[in-house]
Amino acid sequence: MRTLKMTIAYRGTNYHGFQRQPNAATVQGELEQQLARVLNGPVTAYGCSRTDTGVHANMFVLHLHTEREIRCKNLVRALNGYLPDDISVLDCEDAPAEFHARFDCKGKEYLYRIHNHESKNPFLTDLAFHYRRPLDIEKIRYAAEQVTGMHDFHSFCAQATPESNCVRTIYGTSVEREGSDVAIRIRGDGFLYNMVRIFVGTLLDINEGVFAPDAMSEILAAKDRLAAGRTAMAHGLYLNRVFYSDAECRAPMK
């Protein structure tokens, strides 16, 4: 039995996230359907993460098991021939039998794309959040940096209970502008439900003066979702990178 490690990318607009759901289109469901077609039998794809409805992935890692001896290169070509245009297999390789896409993952990096202009960009519909207000990049960059390190992120989780373990380590953040496009990135050892979207929404609230630029520490200390800001729209969010080594995960963000 072979264990294959596969890397895919997808546009999440038409899907209710990655994980298979009854009576809903998902990336896992579509991928498994085409895997079964190519490998001549049912296949389960084990993903590195879940993603919400409408969220995209520039890099998503999964693993699967098969007894077929098909070359990885041929498997990639066959799958991409059958998959819809909004899902692409980027790479496939044989992995150790014990490899697990989720449990072996050391960390992830998320990207949030904002189109910061008075007018919408029709080529970025469902691919970036259209934000009309002027963005003070230095202000939100300063605020974003305050979450670096190990913290309890109860305030940034949509489904946390008092008993939930919400301690996570953030290795770095970045906020960069290129013309009308703003990219917010955050890298850490793990993320909670809606954590990145609440983080970005809080940055937007800081930009608008709802919170002070140095309010992040108080928001974290509150351990209360109501202490943080809005939840940013899903369609601006991307799972950007997945890391399987501590060194790569902790490397300085460029």
Q: pLDDT (tens digit, 9 = 90+) per residue, 119-149?
A: 999 999 999 999 999 999 999 999 999 999 9
Q: What percent of the chain has pLDDT over 70?
A: 100
Distance (Å, whole) CA 97 – CA 66: 11
Residue numbers of the domain that contains 14? 2-95
Write out pLDDT tens, residues 186-196.
999 999 999 99
Task: Determine, yes or no, domain membership for 34.
Answer: yes
pLDDT at 163 over 90: no
Paired strand residues for 242:
108
Residues 52, 54, 60, 61, Cα dihedral to 10°: 50
Tokens representing 128?
């970036």
**One domain for residues 12 and 59:** yes
- Tell me whether residue 231 is exposed, middle or buried, using C-beta atoms within 10 angstroms of its C-beta: 0 to 12, 13 to 18, 19 or more: middle
Write out pLDDT tens, residues 63-104.
999 999 999 999 999 999 999 999 999 999 999 999 999 999
Kindly report the pTM of this predicted structure.
0.95
Distance (Å, whole) CA 65 – CA 208: 49
* Band (171; pLDDT cuts 50, 70, 90): very high
* Mean pLDDT score, 176-181: 96
* Mean pLDDT score, 210-232: 95
pLDDT at 184 over 80: yes
Asked if residue 57 lies in contact with residue 239, where contact means CB atoms within 8 angstroms, the answer is yes
**One domain for residues 14 and 138:** no
Write out pLDDT tens, residues 7-43.
999 999 999 999 998 889 999 999 999 999 999 999 9
Last residue of a domain, which of 95, 121, 136?
95
Task: Determine, yes or no, domain membership for 251.
Answer: no
Task: Determine, yes or no, domain membership for 102.
Answer: no
Beta-carbon contacts of residue 193 (< 8 Å; ≥ 6 apart): 157, 158, 159, 160
DSSP state of 134: -
Domains held by the chain: number: 2
Question: Of residues 52, 136, 205, 246, which has the active-site annotation?
Answer: 52
The CB density around residue 194, as the number of other CB atoms within 10 Å, is 20
**Is 52 an active-site residue?**
yes
